Amino acid sequence: MTPFGARIRALRAEREMTQKDCAARLQISAAYLSALEHGKRGAPSPGLVHQVCDVFGLIWDQAEDLAALARLSHPRVVVDTAGLTPEQTALANRLAHSIHRLPPETVAAVHALLDATSPQPKPRLRRAARRGANLTDERKDPRR
């Protein structure tokens, strides 16, 4: 099951909606919806994500969260390790071979580790403020 499929299933359950009814409202087949929920189909298109948001009345943060889940819902992931270290390639291979055996707490720990080591983008306001300060400094000292 993919994160997107799990979320659709939960939304349907909250609203006591059958797969058939949900599929009809989304204008897709029940078989396709079932395949999405069970991770047998690739990530949904942005159009389908928008339809899901419309059908379930998701707005703002909920809609963004669903779109993020859709981007993380490729059931068959390919990791290109060309150009990486042997250790990174070995890690990718070990993960591919053993991910199905990892308990939920280990998966959560790996997510936390990746979240902690991911570089955080700098806020745009700081960059814009810095550019403005640099322009002001240049006006004061034309040699810069």
Under a CB-based contact definition with an 8 Å cutoff, are residues 4 and 69 in contact?
yes
pLDDT of residue 122: 55
- Is there a single domain that holds both residue 37 and residue 93? no
- Answer with the one of 40, 71, 102 that is the final residue of a domain: 71
CA gap 103, 83 in Å, rounded:
31
Spell out the per-residue pLDDT of the chain, length 144, in tens.
899 999 999 999 999 999 999 999 999 999 999 999 998 998 899 999 999 999 999 999 999 999 999 999 988 889 999 999 999 999 999 999 999 999 999 999 999 999 999 776 655 554 444 554 454 444 455 554
CA gap 50, 44 in Å, rounded:
10
Per this entry, what is the length of the chain?
144
The CATH number of residue 7's host domain is 1.10.260.40
- Is there a single domain that holds both residue 86 and residue 143? yes
- Model pTM score: 0.68
pLDDT of residue 124: 55
Q: Using one digit for the tens of pLDDT, what is the confidence trace for 7-39?
A: 999 999 999 999 999 999 999 999 999 999 998
Place of tokens 């339809």: 51
- Is there a single domain that holds both residue 144 and residue 83? yes
Q: Residue 48: which residues within 8 A CB-CB, separation 6 or more?
A: 26, 28
pLDDT of residue 62: 95
- Is there a single domain that holds both residue 85 and residue 67? no
Looking at the 3D structure of the chain, how many domains does it have? 2
The CA-atom distances, in angstroms, between 52 and each of 2, 13, 38, 98 are 15, 14, 16, 33
Under a CB-based contact definition with an 8 Å cutoff, are residues 43 and 71 in contact?
yes
